[in-house]
Amino acid sequence: MDILNSFYKGKTVIIVAHRLSIVQRTDNILVMDNSKTIEECTHKELTDKRGAYYTLVRNQLELGV
């Protein structure tokens, strides 16, 4: 992941991911539902809000993905 982070530094990159571990260290996360942005913040801010992103993270941790 460190190699990818250095490659992305100073660039705008769009990542579509189901594995949330991939996006945890990004500058900004957009959570979309039915083609609409429903949440947008950092990983920490989104988990602190306990909204849709938090639910996704919690579900992945429970499933051990």
Write down the residue that tokens 């993905």 correspond to.
65
Residue extents of the structural domains in the chain:
1-63
**Tens-place pLDDT, residues 30-46:** 999 999 999 999 999 99
Tokens found for residue 15? 């990542």
Q: How far apart are CA 34 and CA 42, in angstroms?
A: 21
In single-letter form, the type of residue at position 39 comes to E
Q: What is the pTM of this model?
A: 0.77
CB 43 within 8 A of CB 26: yes
pLDDT band at 63 (very low <50, low <70, confident <90, very high): low
